Amino acid sequence: MTESLQDIARRLVAPGKGILAADESSSTIKKRFDSIGLESTADNRRDYREMLFSAETAMREHISGVILFDETIRQSARDGRPLVQLIQANNSIPGIKVDMGAKPLALYPGETITEGLDGLRERLVEYHKLGARFAKWRAVITIGAGLPTPGAISANAHALARYAALCQENGIVPIVEPEVLMDNPNATHTIETCQKVTEATLASVFEELERARVDLTGMILKPNMVVPGKDSGQNASTTEVAERTVAAFHATVPTSVPGIAFLSGGQSDVLATEHLSRINQIPDRPWAITFSYGRALQAAALKAWGGKRENIAAGQAAFLHRSRMNGLAALGQWTPELEREIA
């Protein structure tokens, strides 16, 4: 029986579970591998992802879905089983990044537009055959002098909406990711500015989604948290981040959206967990709120693995620990004591 968009979306944000963003494009995974002195070859990329997807307890208990890159959805494990099957065997859902990256937006210096709509319908049909049941498209909004402009926000919101409509037409749940950056060069903006820009961005995204006739009950929102820019020198408390983030959602996100799964955006892994847990303690949250982390789920595992076969168990243990901590955070139950004890 074909699973409905609503059922898939609900499974992605099931209590205590969240999404592993393992969709680093070739240039990003190269940067990650550079940090451990490992060459970025197709085999090394496969070995790394196989290590993560076969971490049975982490995957079964805490990872509801995995976002893959085009290369990965076509790769097989060392024993010949497709990586997609490894994910499914652990009761997790394979997903796929379908955007082609953020490119300079013509006549808007310093701003980008995410490309990838041409031929998307045909690619979605193929990805569905390969096992993907959800997809992801990331739009990037930069805060700076005079930025973002309303033009860049609405162009990106429009592209997100066209992508989401195409996904739903093809039985795929769209993850809609409008990321207001916190770690761009010279990110001196305050948390107040981040909240204002996040609200303006989300408002525009939902306006476009509704205009495109996207069924909000069959999608997941993947936003940034409301935090100060990394060069702002401002220290926001966990409670302030949580309150401002949830306030931004109340102002803009319809309650028919079943789930919100955050990106980590350059926060340290433990801080991303702490913030998520605090957010899940704020009363009056009509949406399931969880994680869809890339760096914050993988950084420790990548380091422990270090590209060596003999370290696979250590890499998986590090991945299990972060998955557990984020699973607890998705329930609002993470504590610094548990972070230390279980480690």
What is the binding site for ligand 5MM (CB under 6 A)?
A: 21, 23-25, 28, 67, 101, 138, 179, 263-265, 293-296
In the complex with ligand 5MM, the residue whose CB is nearer, 7 or 266, is 266
Kindly state the smallest distance separating residue 341's Cβ from ligand 5MM, in Å: 25
Alpha carbon distances (Å) from 55 to 81, 248, 313? 15, 35, 9
Whether residue 177 lies in the annotated active site = yes
In the complex with ligand 5MM, the residue whose CB is nearer, 24 or 274, is 24
Kindly state the smallest distance separating residue 290's Cβ from ligand 5MM, in Å: 12
One of 17, 97, 136, 222 is an active-site residue; which one?
222
Q: Output the furthest CA–CA distance in the chain (Å, rounded).
A: 53
Q: For the beta carbon of residue 286, count every other beta carbon within 10 angstroms.
A: 13
Return the SS3 of 21: strand
- What are φ and ψ of residue 286, in 5° steps? -75, -5
Best CA proximity match to 224, nearest among 193, 259, 194, 190: 194
Kindly state the smallest distance separating residue 72's Cβ from ligand 5MM, in Å: 11
Kindly state the smallest distance separating residue 213's Cβ from ligand 5MM, in Å: 25
CA distance 50 to 34: 19
Return the residue matching tokens 């909240």. 195
Alpha carbon distances (Å) from 237 to 13, 225, 242, 275, 282? 26, 13, 9, 9, 14
Whether residue 126 lies in the annotated active site = no
In the complex with ligand 5MM, the residue whose CB is nearer, 23 or 111, is 23
How does 34-70 read in b/e, with b if 16+ C-beta sit within 10 Å? eeeebebeeeebbbbbbbbbbbeebbeebbbbbbbbb
Alpha carbon distances (Å) from 317 to 51, 242, 277? 10, 29, 21
Best CA proximity match to 275, nearest among 243, 301, 300: 243
CA pseudo-torsion sign 163, 132, 292, 45: negative
In the complex with ligand 5MM, the residue whose CB is nearer, 195 or 267, is 267
SS (H, E, C) 66-89: EEECHHHHCCECCCCCEHHHHHHH
In the complex with ligand 5MM, the residue whose CB is nearer, 7 or 40, is 40
One of 24, 177, 179, 274 is an active-site residue; which one?
177
Kindly state the smallest distance separating residue 310's Cβ from ligand 5MM, in Å: 26
In the complex with ligand 5MM, the residue whose CB is nearer, 181 or 200, is 181
Kindly state the smallest distance separating residue 21's Cβ from ligand 5MM, in Å: 3
Active-site residue list: 177, 222
